[in-house]
Amino acid sequence: MSLNLEDVARIALLSRIELSVAEREATRDQLNGILGFIEQLQAVDTTDIEPMAHAVDVVQRLRPDAVTETDRRADFQAVAPETEAGLYLVPRVVE
């Protein structure tokens, strides 16, 4: 696929970008280069290639999923102005 100057002008209009004639020509060349590269990628035979999540097969180191803090909820709620059934009560702001 190859774009012409009218295609670039329409894309610029839809994008709300003002381009001069020289900028349209440069943009056309850049977009045609990108489209050419995409055509090259699509021409590669990938039928026997297994999809990958990442280009490098590495394993991420994870920390153990263990509780490191003690439960201090009762301490925090003891200094709160109002609590009920383990919840903080706040004044109503929407009528």
Domain-by-domain residue ranges, the chain? 5-43
- The CATH fold of domain 5-43: Histone, subunit A (1.10.20)
pTM: 0.52
Binned at pLDDT 50, 70 and 90, residue 10 comes out as: very high
Which pLDDT value is given to residue 22? 95
Tokens of 1: 């696929």
Q: How close are the terminal C-alpha atoms of the chain, in Å?
A: 60
pLDDT per residue over 16-45, tens digit each?
A: 999 999 999 999 999 999 999 999 999 999
Strands, DSSP E only, in 33-80?
A: none
Burial-class residue 17 by CB neighbours within 10 Å (0-12, 13-18, 19+).
exposed
In 3-state terms, the chain is what percent helix, strand and coil (to 5)?
Answer: 40, 5, 55
Average pLDDT over residues 79-84: 94
Question: Quick one: DSSP state of residue 51?
Answer: P
